[in-house]
Amino acid sequence: MTIQNTETTSSAGATALPAGYTLHEGYPPLPEYLDLRKLSGLTPVSPEQGAAVPRGSWYGVYITTAEAGAEEQEGGSSTAQPQPSSNGVQTGESPASSSSTNTNTTSSKPGRKAVAMGRIIGDGGWYFVIADMAVLPGHQRRGLGDAIVKRLVDRVYSHGAKGQAYVSLTADPPGRKLYARNEFVESMPRGMGMHRLLQVPGGGDDGGEREGQQEREA
């Protein structure tokens, strides 16, 4: 699925996160990233593959919530207080963090756990691919996926090069309604997505056919 737009305004229609959830710029810590992929139904990847995410991504966000049994004390820590993004979503990052394209952030607030994530791989000019859209089963159907998609698209509006941007993703059936709500359309019949799985020497399983963005929010 793809979205093409020549406008320079930010994406419309912010999604407010439920109480207890905070959106962060960056990427989950490696163990949480690996768990998010596996538990949400995406193809598991090796630690070596997961470690490449921050340096190989253009932009990413993830959502945390208090871990079971953790004290829910949001104040008094070194983590910045939530700030509204340009599309209205509450974020746990300070305003300064939004100036960097690849924030390279890979840490969660103590006592909190990453439960959803998404990122963009791209050249920063006109070509962007949304990947790693994942929400843990126990946190699905709460608008987390929608908040992430809107934040990612908003980033393209605010930091991509002027002109038409091409934003694409792979959408499995569970996520198609979510992406359609955010103005993504099927590329067929004009174009058909294709992929090839390679077993890299020394790598892990060749994974497989479930690499599509299995967002269970639809």
**Exposed / middle / buried, residue 61 (Cβ in 10 Å: 0-12, 13-18, 19+):** buried
Q: What pLDDT, on the 0 to 100 scale, is given for residue 125?
A: 96
Residue 3 pLDDT level (bands cut at 50, 70, 90): low
Instruction: Give the SS3 label for residue 184.
Output: coil
Which CATH class name applies to 2-70+81-181? alpha beta
48-71 pLDDT, tens digit per residue, is 999 999 999 999 999 999 976 544
- pTM to 2 decimal places: 0.74
Pick the closest to residue 57 from 148, 125, 130 (CA basis).
Answer: 130
Q: Which residues contact 54 (CB under 8 A, 6 or more apart)?
A: 26, 27, 60, 102, 104, 105, 106
Q: Where are the domains of the chain?
A: 2-70+81-181
Between 22 and 90, whose confidence is greater?
22
